Amino acid sequence: MSEKLQKVLARAGHGSRREIEAMIAAGRVSIDGQVAKLGDRVDGRAELKVRIDGHAVSLKAEEEVICRVLAYYKPEGELCSRSDPQGRPTVFERLPRVRDSRWVAVGRLDINTSGLLLFTTDGELANRLMHPSQEVEREYAIRVFGEVTEEMLKNLRTGVELEDGTAQFKRLVPAGGEGLNTWYHGVLSEGRNREVRRLWESQEVQVSRLMRIRYGDITLPKGLPRGGWVELPLEQVNYLRDLVGLERESRTLLAQDKLGARRQKTLKAGKIRRAVHKHRARPAKGRPNKG
């Protein structure tokens, strides 16, 4: 049974479907020595030599792929890209390595935004979660600078015109503080570029700090340090797959017994500490000025 090349490569974790379609269109993908074209179909079980940028990549049948998902606490100052010409840190640098695959980010957070960012080895899952038609809720903790009136809040809840169309908060409620330290919790069901900041800017109010605290029903894990990650259990993986109409996963690489779970927790804590230490030890050259 054949499937579109981009779908097979996305499922195997070589990028989101959109990323892979762009690679194919640019002539960066080949099948058995021939440059691939959009619309090519392959069988994940077949013995085909597929290369991306000249590097051999694995094709996997659907039953061979284990869907994994990470919750990552993105710090301010990290880019949501795989590399940066200026040498600035990226969100991919501290993630655990995966064999014959790679982590695909579910959406993006801008460089000055922190909080919950999901990664998966299943590019098809990432592609569906990011699609605007799914309307997956994203909740943010927002600190604003400037006087906020009830009229402004009403505008933000009912809708304002931005350069890419009407936008609004699905929910927007006060979350404490006063003066320069006033916080709100806001919920969106789209993932437009800088949407939270642009909404507030439409009311001439500046966002001074922004943190994503929830994606769908997945919340930023308590106690997770900035720059730390945790792999989601099968129940939460299947919640995300159910959300976008994908077949449920039956396997996980997480330890099932208590002893194995303790070992994994110790190993994970060590990896996080090393990753955080590596990040802090980076030279200051190229880092953005947070002021």
Using only the alpha carbons of the chain, give its radius of gyration.
21
- Give me 187's structure tokens: 């919920």
- Give me 65's structure tokens: 């792929």
List, in order, residues 6 or more apart from 68 with CB less than 8 Å away.
98, 120, 121, 122, 231, 237, 252, 253
Query: Beta-strand (E) ranges in 104-204?
Result: 104-105, 114-120, 138-145, 160-162, 165-167, 171-174, 182-188
Return the half-sphere exposure (C-beta side, CA atoms, 13 A cut-off) of residue 151: 4
Task: Count other C-beta atoms under 10 Å from residue 30's C-beta.
Answer: 17
- Give me 280's structure tokens: 């802090």
Active site residues: 110
Q: What is the DSSP string of 169-189?
A: -SEEEE-S--GGGEEEEEEES
